[in-house]
Amino acid sequence: MNADEDRRDRQPSPERLATILDSISDGVFTVDGEWRITSFNRAAEEITGIPRAEALGQTCCEVFRASICESECALRHTLDTREPVVGKAVYIVDARGRRIPISISTAILRDGEGRVLGGVETFRDLSHVEELRKRLTGQYTFADIISQNHRMQELFGILPQVAASESTVLIVGESGTGKELVARALHNLSRRREGPFVAVNCGALPDSLLESELFGYKAGAFTGADRDKPGRFASARSGTLFLDEIGDIAPILQVRLLRVLQERTFEPLGSNVPEEADVRVVAATHRDLEAAVAAGEFREDLYYRINVIRLQLPPLRERKEDIPLLVDHFITRFNRLRGKEVTGVSPETMTLLARHDYPGNVRELENAIEHAFVLCPGGQLEPAHLPRSLGAGVPDGAGAIAGRTLEEMERWIILEALRRNHGNRLATARELGIHKSTLFRKISALGIRPPARDGRSRS
């Protein structure tokens, strides 16, 4: 027997090949040079709802009716360029007319001699991922704020009551934690929702400009003031005025602002006629205003005037369980804005994202995902697509996330936190920024088997 005959004898029979393909959970089909389907496994039948006998011999576009069949067929791209496509997100229409999200990968189909016979495509049903995304979005989203952290959930619980009042609110949190999102939520939930929402970054303007920006001026108030200009208090009439970084304003402006809050009136520059301040004021700061008061940098009376209701936003490093949710949210948004079909992040990428402390908080995470989108042609976001501050090497154990769903990402984050805390559940809950009962519930729901030794009695 020569080598060619020996190689042919070792090739699996068509029946054995069909059995192998039917054991695969992903859909698999092959086409010949005329785009007619030559094999169609059991998973392909289940996902499409089309029996194998009906699919065989048809062209693939007749069977799948996919969103890319007409204009940018992935299998045609592979056969034309000899380059495989990996993890491309598309939609197909099944036998019942339902639109099914799938991810596809393609390759050249060759015989034992290396001759091209056609193409092979594998596809995975993403319906469960889509359903999970919808369920999590509904459960963990409140007025465009996304979180499953217990402290943020408590905030969600009181926002409607706070919004219903007319009291001044102080939102405290590091830069990038979403203070303006909370301010907008308060406005949108309030009786003033039909009025304007006007935001001013007090730390971005010099004192002289900030004063005229807030209160406006009359023609002739100063050189160059050739006409009246309304300030932000006037622009926000019957609505909400958001004063971001209020801790950065100068003492002289603090006096004027205090008077407005006390008397509910203001005077534009160059005028001595009071105007009504019919606004709800929401202030925000990243500074410790109590320390600023003690240091004489911020007026105590103004502090108590704006600190009627205080909302504290935790930094992202204290709510890392939100990272998978936020990543999924940003990917969905950037796919829509950029017209791309990024399917998610690789386990290695999620590992890097979960380990970072985010001094820039949610805004830094959003920027990292946007940076990755620029470099990623499609499929999954990989470590190489991340900014250097996040992607400098892949840590050991990056393959610990076996799948790509949010549950699996969350499971890995909890396991890693348990490992870092030597199995101590209470310390793990504190690190993740969740209540201990929430951690115990997640451990049970996600099938996590923590160490028998919980770390409190370590020798």
pLDDT score for 297: 93
Mean pLDDT lowest for which of 199-203, 212-216, 434-438? 434-438
pTM (two decimals):
0.61
Percent of the chain with pLDDT over 90: 34
Confidence check: pLDDT of 397 > 50 = no
Mean pLDDT value across residues 353-380: 91
Lowest mean pLDDT among 96-100, 155-159, 239-243, 265-269: 96-100
Q: 317-445: which CATH number, 1.10.8.60, 3.90.15.10, 3.90.950.10, 3.40.50.1820?
A: 1.10.8.60
Tokens 């905030």 belong to residue? 155
pLDDT of residue 214: 92
Q: Lowest-confidence range among 135-144, 229-238, 415-424?
A: 135-144
Q: What is the mean pLDDT of residues 340-366?
A: 89
Distance CA 61, CA 57 (A): 12
Q: Reduced to 3 states, what is the DSSP secondary structure of residue 230?
A: strand
- Closest C-alpha among 76, 414, 96 to residue 88: 76
Do 12-125 and 317-445 have matching folds?
Answer: no
Architecture of domain 12-125: 2-Layer Sandwich (3.30)
Q: Does 457 score more than 50 pLDDT?
A: no
The yes-or-no verdict on residue 74 having pLDDT over 50 is yes
Would the pLDDT of 394 be above 70? Answer: no
Range from 25-29, 173-177, 338-342, 447-451 carrying the lowest mean pLDDT: 447-451
Band the pLDDT of 68: cuts 50, 70, 90: low
Residue type, 316: L
Helix (H) or strand (E) holding 106: strand 99-110
Phi, psi of 289 (to 5 degrees): -70, -30
Q: Which of 93-102, 192-201, 345-354 has the lowest mean pLDDT?
A: 93-102
Task: For residue 42, count other CB atoms closer than 10 A to its CB.
Answer: 17
Average pLDDT over residues 170-177: 95
Q: Per-residue pLDDT averaged across 186-205, rounded?
A: 93
Higher pLDDT, 238 or 48: 238
Q: Where residue 407 falls among pLDDT bands split at 50, 70, 90?
A: low
- Judged against a pLDDT cut of 60, whether residue 404 lies above it is answered with no
Any residues with CB less than 8 A from the CB of 141 and at least 6 apart, and which?
Answer: none
Separation between Cα atoms, residue 159 and residue 189, nearest integer Å: 8
Q: Are 25 and 102 in contact (CB under 8 A)?
A: no
Task: Provide, rounded to the nearest whole percent, the portion of the chain with pLDDT above 70.
Answer: 84
Q: Is the pLDDT of residue 459 over 50?
A: no
**Looking at per-residue confidence, does 407 or 285 come out higher?**
285
pLDDT of residue 196: 95
- Name the CATH superfamily for 150-313: P-loop containing nucleotide triphosphate hydrolases (3.40.50.300)
Q: Give Cα 61 to chain centroid, integer Å.
A: 34
The pLDDT confidence band at residue 170, using thresholds 50, 70 and 90, is: very high
pLDDT category at 408 given cuts 50, 70, 90 is low
Give the pLDDT band (50/70/90) at residue 310: very high
Q: Provide the pLDDT for residue 271.
A: 80
Of 86-90, 114-118, 243-247, 334-338, the least confident:
86-90
> What three-state secondary structure class fits 262?
helix
| Model confidence band, residue 270 (pLDDT cutoffs 50, 70, 90) | confident
Q: What is the pLDDT of residue 152?
A: 92
Q: pLDDT at position 160, please? A: 92
Q: Where are the domains of the chain?
A: 12-125, 150-313, 317-445
User: pLDDT-based confidence at 396, cuts 50/70/90?
Assistant: very low
Written as six digits, the tokens of 437 are 């009962």
Residue 316 has pLDDT above 60, yes or no: yes
Per-residue model confidence (pLDDT) at position 216: 86
Higher pLDDT residue, 269 or 317? 317
**pLDDT grade for 304, boundaries at 50, 70 and 90:** very high
Nearest to 327 by CA among 296, 298, 360, 349: 349
- Per DSSP, the residues of 154-212 read HHHHHHHHHHHS---EEEE--TTS-HHHHHHHHHHHSTTTTS-EEEEEGGGS-HHHHHH
pLDDT surpasses 50 at 86:
yes
Q: Chain-wide mean pLDDT for the chain? A: 83
Quick one: which H or E segment has residue 409?
helix 406-420
- Residue 242 clears pLDDT 50, i.e. is over it: yes
Contact between 127 and 48 (Cβ < 8 Å): no
Closest to 366 (Cα-Cα) out of 178, 159, 183, 200: 178
pLDDT of residue 184: 94
Residue 263, pLDDT above cutoff 50: yes
pLDDT digit string, tens, across residues 112-130: 778 888 899 998 887 776 6
- For the residues 85-111, what does the mean pLDDT come to? 81
User: Is residue 454 over pLDDT 70?
Assistant: no
